[in-house]
Chains A and B, each alone.
Chain A
Amino acid sequence: MLRIIVALFALVLFTAPADAAVKVVATLPWIGSLAKEIGKDRVTVTTLVKTSQDPHSIEARPSMIAAVRRADLLIYNGLDLEVGYLPILMESARNPAINPGNAGNLNCSVYVDPLEKPATASRENGDVHPLGNPHYHLSPANIKKMAIGIGERLAKVDQANAGFYRANTARFVAQVDHKMKEWKGRKLQGKRFVAQHRFFEYLAADFGFRIVGYLEEKPGIPPSSAHIQALVSSMSGHRPDAILSTEYHDRTISGFVSSKTGVKSVIVPHDVGANGSRDWFSLMDSVIKSLE
């Protein structure tokens, strides 16, 4: 029985193309998009999480293990964002090239100065993330560092094309600087928002707006009535510009608070693919637009 099944599987796999491109596995859509931007036709990119899904978890499919097993380079967000599946996926795939410490393992968060990182990582600071806020990709300042990091790593893994990757990285960074001038002119400075979850902090730091309150202090745990009451009364006193949430968050609470206060609720696209965005730039265009 098993023999027949394995034989059937093998038949299917023989159709897979074998090429010389660097095989990249990215956990999140924005990482995959960035790798493609820099590697172009010299890389093949497999992205594990779909845009419509919560970045903290994945729907496990057999192709994911196969992709990680064959990968030359694994690029991930880090700061424990993928802790629910990545360690175990790597263990299942048993590909030494992508183990931590090797050139094939790139944790993007090493290029970030994490926000909200507690001075002492103890359980007493029960309400903070021990490594800092992991949602750093909606930040032009960070994305430039990511691009350089990914470019340098590709150059290391595939030395024959090092010049190609560095040139693409330089072009990407220049485009971020160019777009940043346009985005800076969009008057986000000084705006005040209430957010569903700690998702927009790096963006706020880059563009000079403020997050003045949160609907949920912890993901997945409904807020207490006292918290919502205090939030609603403070919002009525000094109205924020909008309530921000993302497509993968539950919108019941934001809808409720919005109806109580009259402050509009805005769905901010959270990753490449949302709102029809094709790459990180069109994602940011639509993020900035949603905040205006």
Chain B
Amino acid sequence: MDNLSFLIWPFGACLLLILIHTWFGVHILERGIIFVDLALAQFISIGIALSLLTGVDRTLLAVIFALGGALIMTLTGRVARHVNVEAFIGVLYIFSFATCTLILDRTAHGMEEFKAILNGNILWVTPGMLGSTALLYGAVGLLHWFLRRRFHDLTFRGEGPLWVEFIFFASFALVLVKSVMIAGILQVFSFLVVPALLGRLFFRGSGSILVAGWIAGTVVSSGGIAVSHVLDLPTAPVIVAGLALLFFLALAAKSFSGRNGLNRV
């Protein structure tokens, strides 16, 4: 029994990740900016690359770039008349990626150390990391609870002041910094998009979508950790593939059941 206690921490981390990312996922999907997390995470990586080059505190630079990225995303509303926002996000991603490479070219370890920092792995989560993650996610969750109506108006009606938009993206960027460091970009992206997509297959209200996504995410995470343990497979890919598979199955079931077709996904 004692041998298995270490799996409690990754499981706890999965729960925290699902709670917060499904919530953000509902908003991100509705806004149609699905790849914003990849772009933001890559933009924040510029800060991490800079910290490797200059020796300046990594967390400080990551936070500065998270806020900078949030500011850029806030202002995309202004350029939406000229360019498709998803295309803009794509360009922001490749720009950030290229910039990271150029910065890392000047550091000692090149890509190696950088990849190790960025590709956190859910299996390596320690009680301390879980605690600090819970603290940050809890604070962001509380903030979102108080501002939920404003965020709702922004996402579903496109109404609201710029500062609310900035707080939305800033809190999202800060959550991303933490999430990517503990779980890696692949798992974070799947937790952001897939549970909310699953919810949207069957429900229309954002509350119902959220709860359905939480349940699906929790079931797949616990199943994924169990399968990965029993078959000794890499944990994160099992969870990600399992989540995607559940989505495909649900989509197929929904498509062939013939009931009122698909919701917009």
Asked if A84 and B11 make an inter-chain contact with CB atoms under 8 angstroms apart, the answer reads no
Of the listed stretches B1-9, B172-180, B200-208, chain A binds: B1-9
Measured CB to CB, the closest approach of chain A to B197, in angstroms, equals: 23
What's the Cα separation between A126 and B116 when bound, in Å? Answer: 19
Asked if B105 and A62 make an inter-chain contact with CB atoms under 8 angstroms apart, the answer reads no
A66-B6, A221-B104 known; A60 vs B232 contact (CB < 8 Å): no
**One of B53, B112, B234 near A61 (C-beta < 8 A):** B234
Asked if A66 and B3 make an inter-chain contact with CB atoms under 8 angstroms apart, the answer reads yes
Asked if A61 and B232 make an inter-chain contact with CB atoms under 8 angstroms apart, the answer reads yes
Question: A85 interface residue, CB < 8 Å from B?
Answer: yes
Question: B19 interface residue, CB < 8 Å from A?
Answer: no
What's the Cα separation between A92 and B234 when bound, in Å? Answer: 16
What's the Cα separation between A5 and B113 when bound, in Å? Answer: 35
Number of interface residues of A (CB under 8 A): 43
Please indicate the chain B residues that have their CB under 8 angstroms from the CB of A221 in the complex: 101, 104-105, 110-111
**One of A10, A56, A93, A94 near B4 (C-beta < 8 A):** A10
**One of B53, B104, B110, B121 near A60 (C-beta < 8 A):** B121
Measured CB to CB, the closest approach of chain A to B128, in angstroms, equals: 8
**One of B106, B112, B126, B229 near A12 (C-beta < 8 A):** B229
Size category, B interface: 35 or more
Measured CB to CB, the closest approach of chain A to B218, in angstroms, equals: 8
Question: A59 interface residue, CB < 8 Å from B?
Answer: yes
Interface residue ranges of A34-70 to B (CB < 8 Å): 56-57, 59-66, 69-70
A60-B124, A218-B104 known; A65 vs B109 contact (CB < 8 Å): no
Nearest residue (CB) in A for B128 is A91
Asked if A60 and B106 make an inter-chain contact with CB atoms under 8 angstroms apart, the answer reads no
A13-B4, A69-B6 known; A219 vs B112 contact (CB < 8 Å): yes
What's the Cα separation between A128 and B1 when bound, in Å? Answer: 46
**One of A5, A84, A85, A92 near B6 (C-beta < 8 A):** A92
Asked if A220 and B229 make an inter-chain contact with CB atoms under 8 angstroms apart, the answer reads no
A126-B106, A127-B108, A218-B110 known; A12 vs B116 contact (CB < 8 Å): no
Asked if A61 and B228 make an inter-chain contact with CB atoms under 8 angstroms apart, the answer reads yes
Asked if A61 and B4 make an inter-chain contact with CB atoms under 8 angstroms apart, the answer reads no
Question: B236 interface residue, CB < 8 Å from A?
Answer: yes
Asked if B108 and A129 make an inter-chain contact with CB atoms under 8 angstroms apart, the answer reads yes
Nearest residue (CB) in A for B119 is A57
What's the Cα separation between A47 and B135 when bound, in Å? Answer: 36
Asked if B3 and A62 make an inter-chain contact with CB atoms under 8 angstroms apart, the answer reads no
Question: A78 interface residue, CB < 8 Å from B?
Answer: no
Asked if A130 and B104 make an inter-chain contact with CB atoms under 8 angstroms apart, the answer reads no
**One of A62, A94, A222 near B229 (C-beta < 8 A):** A62
Asked if A5 and B222 make an inter-chain contact with CB atoms under 8 angstroms apart, the answer reads yes
What's the Cα separation between A94 and B109 when bound, in Å? Answer: 28
What's the Cα separation between A61 and B234 when bound, in Å? Answer: 4
Please indicate the chain B residues that have their CB under 8 angstroms from the CB of A57 in the complex: 112, 115-116, 119
Most B-side CB within 10 Å, residue of A59, A62, A92: A62
Please indicate the chain B residues that have their CB under 8 angstroms from the CB of A56 in the complex: 112, 115-116
Asked if A65 and B6 make an inter-chain contact with CB atoms under 8 angstroms apart, the answer reads yes
What's the Cα separation between A63 and B230 when bound, in Å? Answer: 9
Measured CB to CB, the closest approach of chain A to B241, in angstroms, equals: 14
Question: B258 interface residue, CB < 8 Å from A?
Answer: no
1/0 per residue A62-104: CB within 8 Å of B?
A: 1111100110000000000001110011011110000000000
Please indicate the chain A residues that have their CB under 8 angstroms from the CB of B230 in the complex: 8-9, 12
Asked if A126 and B107 make an inter-chain contact with CB atoms under 8 angstroms apart, the answer reads yes
Question: B225 interface residue, CB < 8 Å from A?
Answer: yes
Question: B123 interface residue, CB < 8 Å from A?
Answer: yes
Question: B261 interface residue, CB < 8 Å from A?
Answer: no
Measured CB to CB, the closest approach of chain A to B168, in angstroms, equals: 32
Asked if B123 and A62 make an inter-chain contact with CB atoms under 8 angstroms apart, the answer reads yes
Asked if B125 and A9 make an inter-chain contact with CB atoms under 8 angstroms apart, the answer reads no
Asked if A62 and B7 make an inter-chain contact with CB atoms under 8 angstroms apart, the answer reads yes
**One of A8, A10, A92, A126 near B9 (C-beta < 8 A):** A92
Nearest residue (CB) in B for A6 is B4
Asked if B4 and A60 make an inter-chain contact with CB atoms under 8 angstroms apart, the answer reads no
Asked if A88 and B234 make an inter-chain contact with CB atoms under 8 angstroms apart, the answer reads no
Question: A1 interface residue, CB < 8 Å from B?
Answer: yes
Asked if B3 and A69 make an inter-chain contact with CB atoms under 8 angstroms apart, the answer reads yes
A61-B235, A62-B7, A221-B104 known; A83 vs B111 contact (CB < 8 Å): no
Please indicate the chain A residues that have their CB under 8 angstroms from the CB of B124 in the complex: 60, 85, 88-89, 91-92
What's the Cα separation between A8 and B119 when bound, in Å? Answer: 29
**The 6 nearest A-B residue pairs measured at CB:** A220-B111, A84-B116, A218-B110, A60-B123, A59-B234, A60-B121
A–B pairs, 6, beta carbons within 8 Å: A5-B225, A10-B1, A60-B236, A61-B235, A218-B110, A218-B111
